[in-house]
Amino acid sequence: MMAWLQQWTTGLMATMALTVITAQDSGLPGVERENLGPADIVKKESHPVLFRQKRGWIWNSLYVEEEKPVVTPLKIGRLKSDKSNPGGVFKIEGEGANDIFIVDNKGDLFVTKSLDREKKNAYHLTAMMSDAYGNRIENPGEFVVQVTDINDNTPVFTQSYNGSIEERSRIGKIVVEVKATDADDPTTANAELRYSLTHGDISAFEIDSITGVISCKINTLDRETREEYVVVVKAQDMRGLASGSTATTSVTIKITDINDNIASFTRTKYDLNVPENHKVDETIGILELVDKDEIQNKEPIFTIQNLNSNIFNIEPNHNKDGNLVLKEALDFEKTNSYSFTVRMKENVQTPADNTNAAITSAQVNINVLDVDEPPIFSEDMYSFNVKEEMYVNNIGFIKARDPDRANKTIQFSIMQPDCPIGINRLTGQLYTLRNLDREDKPTHMFQVKAQEEPSGLESVVKVNINVQDVNDNEPELRADDIYICENDESNTIIGTLTATDKDDQPVAFTFSLASENSNFSIRNYGNGTAALIVKQGPFSLDDPKNYKVDVRVSDGGHPSKSSVSTVSVGICQCDPNRNRTYCKPEARRMGVSVHALTAILLCILTILVIVILFAMRKRYQKDSLANMKNSGEIHEQLVTYDEEGGGEMDTNGYDVSILTSACHDGSLLRHQDHRPHPSLYAMVQKPPHHTQPTACKGDMAAMIEVKKDEADHDRDGFPYDTLHIYGYEGPESLAGSLSSLGSSSTGSNLDYDFLNDWGPRFRTLAELYGVDGPDYYHQY
């Protein structure tokens, strides 16, 4: 105790000395520096300063065993301080304070509940001590209550485990590693696990007791014998002691395949029947194999003995069996049977399990069947050469035969109907039907059909006819940009002449003048070109003459072809380097081509037809109008308007007076009396009591047609918004007309002139019924 006190005093003195020195260095008053604690001083120093803090609590290790039943508070320790005070009061704060843990006045610490280490393995608390008046006697101190572990948890496998291993694997090869967990304290034996195999096929596998690694302990695993093993793994804590808790899991181990078995033929002999027309590169039979290994490890290699390997081949199919494929066409007439041996080998891990039992060779017998085959041409494709522009009776022969023993007759035909080549149906001889033109079509391709008689079997072959060129085209002269200058002297070259030829033959063009009297000459260069030369100059732009040169070109072929062309020579003003500055325009002949003349005549004819049709239409309209004027029958046309009138007072809504006029002796008259007239609509509504002349019906219809015609052809006048047509109905009916124009409103002879005395309100009605007589008419 004295030694501890001495150390505490030394630390306190060092702290006080450090406080004074720090205050002097900083220039602060000593009182303020004394208020700084040791921690604040350390923070302000550039280098850390070590100091010792006084401790007043005396701790012992505090432990609580988990899952221990607690009926009454269980004492687990005591809180002690070096400052003894019999009247001191203890308090605790922190995790579980005053709930799980309580303390009495003596400082004894109690636990009130059963604890679970797996939920919480330590509780951090703070202890405080004060006197009876609440004055702190000791500074707060922290302490920890540890929860000790017991073996209350069993091991757990958190997942399922499966493994695999190849057959014939070596001893010790790892299959799979299993792991279990234990929630107990890993630093104690409660969580130390040991593994072992308890059930299943433990004769073939073993497990490492600590790591849980399962490995193979034999080298004779055979998938073909057994494909799967199941073992049971046990995990036990307490280092595997019998008192430890255990858990088990099943592990499935699959044996994977390797190529340790040789494939074997299912038969020692295969008999196949194949028709002779079987297609090349197609399968004619399957040589089946059996292999105990899985399909990915079935890798047979086939070989055919003797020379038959040129005719047949064996290729593996999707099942790794052998497809017997035909490489060359069969011919029953040449060979009607084949026999050969097929051998098979496979690269397997030796020694194979079935070395002595596997069938690795088989005999194959092929019987060729005779069939009626179509004709066979002597060549796969025929090609012939024919000279153009001539008939050829014998171009060549198309040959075909019947491959069968019957040797039937064959007839030939060309499949293209527009082909210029013909063929002899019996001999196959080709000939031309018309002259061929290489420049039009250099090659003719068609198909020839060979057909057996009478079976009708046929074959087709392609034929190419190459048209060979002959010298049948005249050369064409090319002379571009030929002109003479005013100052050109004699022997001046004014241009170059070239030529082209459509024929496909070597040519040697020669140029010459076609006319002797010319002021120009030609110099051949010998390379297919020539120069046009002036004989005598100079020239003048004022000369009205146009210069032209007739040039003859010969191609030098066999037979030789030549042509004469006219070359126009312009005349120009040139600079010293013979570059044109101005050229005299060439006089051109004005003319109209035949096509242009035809178009002009067609246009003129079209215009004449339109004029005639228009005149006929006008005449027809006048004849129709005249006929309508003389017609005594008028039909009524009904016009519907979706408008509502203004009633009796509305005298301006529609002016129907234009539809009426005086009818007197069949003519339209203007009344001489200039008195105010009543509404002529009234005159129409109230006709005279005496019989109306029938001629008025025709005159009114004719008048309407005249007005319509005038309105149609009057371009200066505005069109009428509406046109009311009133006619007379039923002239052919025994009942007579139903129109109000031919009768009064009541059918009586009452005089309605007294309506004029009733005032202005009845003026319109008086006009409708008050005027009696056809004396008033209105000229439109």
Q: Report yes or no on 777 lying in a domain.
A: no
Q: Report yes or no on 390 lying in a domain.
A: yes
Per-residue pLDDT at 383: 95
The bridge status of strand 108-111 relative to strand 174-177 is: unpaired
Percentage of the chain exceeding pLDDT 90: 35
C-alpha closest to that of 565 among 485, 499, 496: 499
Q: Report yes or no on 682 lying in a domain.
A: no
Across the range 619-635, mean pLDDT stands at 60
Across the range 717-730, mean pLDDT stands at 49
**Shared domain check, 531 and 503:** yes
Token pair in block for residue 665: 């002796």
Any idea which residue has 């210029």 for tokens?
420
| Residues 337/365, Cβ–Cβ less than 8 Å | yes
Identify the three-state secondary structure at position 579.
coil
List the CATH number of the domain containing 333.
2.60.40.60
Contacts of 550 (CB under 8 A, 6+ apart): 513, 514, 515, 518, 564, 565, 566, 567
Domain that holds residue 252: 156-256
**Shared domain check, 353 and 274:** yes
C-alpha closest to that of 516 among 541, 542, 482, 552: 552
- Backbone Cα Rg of the chain: 66
Q: Of 101, 125, 148, at which residue does a domain stop?
A: 148
| Residues 415/458, Cβ–Cβ less than 8 Å | no
Token pair in block for residue 429: 């001889």
**Shared domain check, 461 and 503:** no
What tens digit of pLDDT does each residue of 287-332 get? 999 999 899 989 999 999 877 888 999 999 999 999 999 999 898 8
Handedness of CA 571, 576, 578, 582 (dihedral sign): negative
pLDDT band for position 347 (cuts 50, 70, 90): confident
C-alpha closest to that of 237 among 300, 291, 180, 283: 180
Q: Report yes or no on 295 lying in a domain.
A: yes
What tens digit of pLDDT does each residue of 362-389 get? 999 999 998 888 899 999 999 999 998 8
Q: What b/e readout covers 91-116, taking b as 16+ CB neighbours within 10 angstroms? A: ebebebbeebbebeeebebbbeeebe
Q: What is the side-by-side strand order in the sheet with 74-78?
A: 74-78, 108-111, 101-103
pLDDT band for position 750 (cuts 50, 70, 90): low
Per-residue pLDDT at 5: 39
Cα–Cα dist 570/583, whole Å: 7
**Shared domain check, 317 and 272:** yes
Cα–Cα dist 770/760, whole Å: 14
**Shared domain check, 488 and 557:** yes
pLDDT band for position 29 (cuts 50, 70, 90): very low
Q: Which residue has the higher pLDDT, 751 or 12?
A: 751
Chain-wide mean pLDDT for the chain? 78
**Shared domain check, 134 and 83:** yes
121 to 150, 154, 225: CA distances (angstroms): 12, 18, 54
Q: Report yes or no on 672 lying in a domain.
A: no
138 to 61, 102, 577, 596: CA distances (angstroms): 20, 19, 127, 132
Q: Taking CA 285 as the corner, what is the angle to CA 279 and CA 291, rounded to the nearest 5 degrees?
A: 145
Cα–Cα dist 170/173, whole Å: 6
What tens digit of pLDDT does each residue of 251-263 get? 999 999 998 899 9
**Shared domain check, 488 and 387:** no
C-alpha closest to that of 709 among 780, 637, 622: 622
Identify the three-state secondary structure at position 133.
coil
Per-residue pLDDT at 739: 52
Catalogue the E-assigned strands of 242-327: 246-256, 264-265, 269-275, 283-287, 289-290, 301-304, 312-316, 322-326
**Residue 288: DSSP 8-state:** -
**Shared domain check, 175 and 143:** no
Counting every residue written for the chain, the total comes to 780
CA 580 to chain centre: 61
What tens digit of pLDDT does each residue of 410-467 get? 999 999 999 999 999 999 999 999 999 988 899 999 999 999 987 788 999 999 999 9
What tens digit of pLDDT does each residue of 228-279 get? 999 999 999 998 888 889 999 999 999 999 988 999 999 999 999 999 889 9
Q: Of 232, 256, 280, at which residue does a domain stop?
A: 256
Q: Report yes or no on 713 lying in a domain.
A: no
Across the range 200-220, mean pLDDT stands at 91
Cα–Cα dist 149/120, whole Å: 11
pTM assigned to the model: 0.43
Cα–Cα dist 81/98, whole Å: 20
Q: Report yes or no on 89 lying in a domain.
A: yes
**Shared domain check, 570 and 553:** yes
Domain count for the chain: 5
Burial of 531 (0-12, 13-18, 19+ CB in 10 A): middle
**Shared domain check, 518 and 443:** no
**Shared domain check, 562 and 488:** yes
**Shared domain check, 364 and 386:** no
| Residues 324/283, Cβ–Cβ less than 8 Å | yes
Q: Of 426, 443, 468, at which residue does a domain stop?
A: 468
Token pair in block for residue 332: 């029953």
Q: Report yes or no on 514 lying in a domain.
A: yes
